Homo-oligomer: A and B are copies of this chain.
Amino acid sequence: MTSDFSFKNPVFAQFAFYAGIVILKTLAMSLATAYHRITKKVFINPEDNPGGKVTPNDPDVERIRRCHLNDLENVVPFVLIGGLYVLTGPSAHAAALHFRIFAAARIFHTISYLFALPQPCRALSFVVGYMATASMAVNVIRSGVM
């Protein structure tokens, strides 16, 4: 079983694909924030709205900001730990399961957050993604002590 950091390793190629997807999804939150700030004219910096006022707590913008921060708190650890996990030499099946479950959970988390779906939609998608990253972290730590 190869377990190196290269696109020739199918586990790495899978990881890179899903890491790319979830990072692009995270980056998209910036565009959603900018769209709402511009269309609703709710700016946070005086230089963004010369002669106008600053609106610090718009509920729509704050909801997107919380969703974005939640991505930073979860997607970034996934990519960091996922890269190390690839090198622990997991089976292609186990690795694919972790990556796909995480990506699906985070996409559903974003939908749940932005459209304010009734709970436990958001809570469940958060927990599922969290478990995928935590499971990989335990594997990395165990490989690190041996």
Q: Which residues of A contact B (CB under 8 A)?
A: 3-7, 12-21, 23-24, 26-27, 29-30, 44-48, 50, 63, 66, 68-69, 72-74, 76-77, 79-81, 83-84, 87-89, 113, 116-119, 122, 126, 130, 133-134, 137-138, 140-141, 143-146
Instruction: Give chain B residues whose Cβ lies under 8 Å from the Cβ of A146.
Output: 7, 13
Partner of A27, one of B83, B117, B130: B130
| A4, A26, A87 — most chain B CB neighbours (10 Å) | A87
Chain B residues with CB under 8 Å of A48's CB are 119
Number of copies: 3
Extra contacts, 7 of them, besides A23-B77, A45-B113, A72-B73 (Cβ < 8 A), are A12-B87, A13-B144, A17-B140, A20-B81, A26-B73, A26-B77, A27-B73
Q: How distant is the Cα of A9 from the Cα of B89 in the complex, in angstroms?
A: 14
